[in-house]
Structures are given as C-alpha cells and as structure tokens.
Amino acid sequence: MIRFLKSWFAGSEALDEESLLSRVRSGPIPRHVAIIMDGNGRWAKKRGLPRVAGHREGMKTVREIARAADELGIEVLTLYSFSTENWKRPREEVDYLMKLPEEFLRTELDELVRRNVQVRMIGDETQLPAHTLSAIRRFQEATRDNSGLILNFALNYGSRDEILRAVRQIVEEVQSGKVDKDAIDEAVMNRCLYTAGLPDPDLVIRTSGEIRVSNFMLWQMAYSELWFTDISWPDFRRNHFFQAIEDYQHRSRRFGAV
C-alpha cells in the first residue's frame, strides 16, 4: 500500500512538472528574462560550508536554468553574476569568483555550442583579471556566430555606473557635433548602454528573499514584471523558473503588454 501511494505521489509530481511546462509553453514566452542570483553564501553557511561552496553549487543552477531558457525559446537570459559592489568581499572569495568563468568555459562550452547559444557579457571589463577576461573572450569567440539563446552574464556590472558611462558618451557625441542636444532620446540612451541591441527584460527574478533591485538594470526594467522568491539560488530549480514565467503570463494577460 505504501509502495503504491509512493509511486502514485511520485507520478503525480512528474505530472505536475509536465503540466506546468506545457501550460507555460502554450502562453507568451518572455523575450528577455533577467535574474539576480542571490543567496549562494547563505546557502553554504546554513550547511556549515564556506561561501565559495555556495557559488560552486550556484553554477549548477546556471546550467539548469540556461537549459530551461533554451528549451522555452527565450531570446535572452541575463544572469547577474558579480556586481561593482562585490569587490568589497573578502579577497579569497573575489579570487574564487573570478575563476568561475574559466570553470564554466571548461565544463559548459561544448554543450552551449551544441545548443547554438551565444555567450555575452555586460559590465566593466577593464577591471577584470586578465585570466577572467580571456575566458570570457574565448566564450565570445567560440559562440559569436550562434543564433540561439543569448546567455548574457552581468559581471562587474552596476546600473548607475552604466548610466553614467552612457551620459559621458552622449556628452562627448554632443560636443563633437555627432548628436544634437535636443535629439537626445531613449534610442540614443539605449545604444550607449551595455545592453545596446538587446530587448528590455520582460521579467526580472530575484532569489533568496530580498525585495530590492540593487542597482541592476534600472533603466531597462522600467516596465518589467518583477518576481521574488525566498528560495536561494543553489536551490532554485527549473520548475521555479517555469512558475515565475507562468505568473508573468497571467500578469501580462491581465494588464496588457505595457
């Protein structure tokens, strides 16, 4: 009897997972989903592990969610991997984080190429260690001609910093006569941001309980749906991702696509 109940329960869980996926597939798929991957350090601490163990576990979630985004036909998945504020963390933690793009290259490049994924980065590249930047460059070169999912890592990214750089560039273009002051519009701003050429995020997800946007895509998320969960990033699964998208689909149906 217990065995029967167990298998029935497991079976209904699988059904739930599949029916959620098929419901999501039948609705409008967001073009761009952006995620603040919070809670790696807390996940580790709760288990008596060093913070870096949480970052390592978080890489597995990156793999799972990138696969899910690809399967749904999402155009852009932006993952907030390292903020301009994160340099204030302990030296050993920063050093570890800066090795993750190499680790990701080693373990994921083959599959990403097979999936026709294009890897990009937004953020200030100039302060990154040479070994980190070279892994990112290798990623970009190996996936440059791919036309599938854009897997966009926000690394040494800060939205205010991004906006200030855009302002400086626009001032330069005005001073050199390339742009008239009165012709500065949203399109001029958009092409001066790191996200130039990408659609604005339709959906922004933040894991691990904080209800803040923390200097992430402030200009770009003017009309985004926001979705928060208490689940930490290492515990975040494709079903949570599908749930966020289903909620987004209900909201955009109710309020119209503005």
- List, by residue number, the catalytic residues: 38, 86
Shortest spacing between CB 229 and ligand V07, in angstroms: 15
Minimal distance, residue 138 CB to ligand V07, in Å: 9
Binder to ligand V07 among 66, 76, 82, 198 (CB under 6 A)? Answer: 82
34, 59, 74, 245: which one contacts ligand V07 (CB under 6 A)? Answer: 59
* DSSP string of the chain, one letter each residue: -HHHHHHHHHHHHHHHHHHHHHHHHHSPPPSEEEEE---HHHHHHHTT--HHHHHHHHHHHHHHHHHHHHHHT-SEEEEEEEETTGGGS-HHHHHHHTTHHHHHHHHHHHHHHHTT-EEEEES-GGGS-HHHHHHHHHHHHHHTT--S-EEEEEEEE-HHHHHHHHHHHHHHHHHTTSS-GGG--HHHHHHHSTTTTSPPPSEEEE-SS----TTSSTTTTTT-EEEE-SS-GGG--HHHHHHHHHHHHHHHHHH---
Contact code string over 147-166 relative to ligand V07, x by CB under 6 A: ------x-x-----------
Stretch that binds ligand V07, among 70-78, 94-102, 214-222, 236-244 (CB under 6 A): 94-102
Q: Which of 52, 97, 150, 198 binds ligand V07 (CB under 6 A)?
A: 97
Judged by CB under 6 A, the chain residues 157 through 216 that form the site for ligand V07 are: none
Question: Which residues of this protein are in contact with ligand V07, per CB under 6 A?
Answer: 37, 40, 55, 58-59, 62, 81-82, 97, 100-101, 104, 119, 121, 136, 139, 153, 155, 233
